Amino acid sequence: MKLFYRKVGQGQPLFILHGLFGQSDNWNSLARQFAEAGYEVYTVDLRNHGLSPHSETWNYQVMSDDILELMNDLNLENVFLLGHSMGGKVAMQFAIQNPERLQKLIVVDISPKYYPPHHGDVLKALNAVDFNVVKSRKEAETVLSEYIKDYGTKQFLLKNIYWKENGELDWRFNLEVISQKIETVGEETPESSVCITPALFIRGELSNYILDQDLLHIKSIFPFSNLETISKSGHWVHAEQPQDFFKTVVKFLES
């Protein structure tokens, strides 16, 4: 699949993969910072998200294959690969299967383990927005507010609303397929082989996605990995503490 991506800067290529319900422009500010630090940054829309095509087929294998196809199209080798949450799972899958294409791997607030489905309230909220009735972003926000109280989560989701050619609003992500296959997001990263690519795992201090007891599992697949914890941040560590996140990533890339 030909993925949509944004490119900024010049230097060593750095790919950034967003999480569930995200899109490439969520990373615009940090992408510019990485570009100013001397990297050629590619922020990518994964399939069924952003401006990339929709597909009934949606799992980590095909998402990893999509990244390989993009790198081949761009004739890129020795790439730095960074992924957050679902994007981190894609990045791990890619690193295990294509270690020769990577210099370093950065995985943000996700581990290789299985995660049970936990997006029920969000999916109920999104599916409650009927764009045959809802005709504005404000109206959509009102519907979401019946299910979601957190302001940041609502704004994150509302960024995905766009006007279709026929003058109707819709979600940029493929809500139907995501709703049907939400268990895919939590699937365990296969331990088919050991990946010796240098890796950095970053977690938010207030997040429970990477627990201390997960470290042995991480090390069993990525033996040359380290874990950094960024204080005063939750699952969206890059958005909540962008400067600490940026410094942590650049330190690792330059080490």
Catalytic residues: 85, 176, 235
DSSP sequence for 29-63:
HHHHHHHHTTEEEEEE--TTSTTSPP-S--SHHHH
Helices (H), 130-184: 137-145, 151-158, 175-180
DSSP sequence for 82-132:
EEETHHHHHHHHHHHH-GGGEEEEEEES--SS------HHHHHHHHH--TT
Rounded distance between C-alpha atoms, residue 30 and residue 27, angstroms: 6
For residue 206 the two structure tokens come to 């207030």
CA-CA-CA-CA torsion sign (81, 84, 88, 90) = negative
